[in-house]
Amino acid sequence: MVRHRVRWVESGGGPLIAVPETVLPFWAGADGDETASDYDRACEIDGPVGLLPVGDSAALVLGDEPAATAYLPDHGTFVRWCAADSEAELLSGVPSALATAEWGEEVRWKVPGPVFLFDSAWPGTETERAAPLCVTLTPGAYGVRAAWVSPGPETWLGLVQLRLLAG
């Protein structure tokens, strides 16, 4: 059986952000003439997830830890690699981590379609240089919840689960 590696996104030390494709040009990253840049606003998010207004939409900030992050569409979850000896070890722990997670408070995120995950320091107009991950999401409202889980003695990961809400 051939296993396909997932694509991980990393940051230079700040939070990662998932910005809807429709408002990418409005994300200024660490650039800008404002006293507080978009990147500064992302760094102010307290906790594992938060929402920031961008254009006529909102971006999802993955806060707390600048861990390498992948999206697993089969689980509707961003997985954040905190500690594991290998990718295989980390990914094999995801099902049990999802089943045993003690989820934090859920936020409601309205998504107009695909989002791009990248280092929040980059401007949205330069995301190709930031090697973003495009995540195809069905337009609608999502419940977003997060947890930090240790599915094994040497494995720690963060979970940010997106659940499409009815109606």
Structure tokens at 31: 């650039």
pLDDT digits (tens, 9 = 90+) for 103-136: 999 999 999 999 999 999 999 988 788 789 999 9
Query: Would you list the DSSP string of 43-92?
Result: HT--SSEEEEEETTEEEEEE-S---EEEEETTTTEEEEEEE-S-HHHHHH
Alpha helices in the chain (DSSP H): 38-43, 87-92, 94-100
pLDDT in 10s for each residue of the chain, 167 residues: 335 579 999 988 889 999 999 999 999 999 866 668 999 999 999 899 999 999 999 999 998 888 999 999 999 999 999 999 999 999 999 999 999 999 999 999 999 999 999 999 999 988 788 789 999 999 999 999 999 998 888 889 999 999 999 86
The whole-model pTM stands at 0.92
**Nearest-angstrom CA–CA distance, 2 and 130:** 29
Instruction: Please list, in sequence order, all residues whose beta carbon lies within 8 angstroms of the beta carbon of residue 23, skipping any fewer than 6 positions away.
Output: 54, 55, 56, 57, 59, 124
d(CA 162, CA 152): 24
pLDDT of residue 1: 36
Asked whether 90 and 79 are in contact (CB, 8 A), the reply is yes
User: 68-72 and 77-83: which strand pairing?
Assistant: antiparallel
* pLDDT score recorded for residue 127: 78
Domain ranges of the chain: 16-164
Helix (H) or strand (E) holding 143: strand 140-152
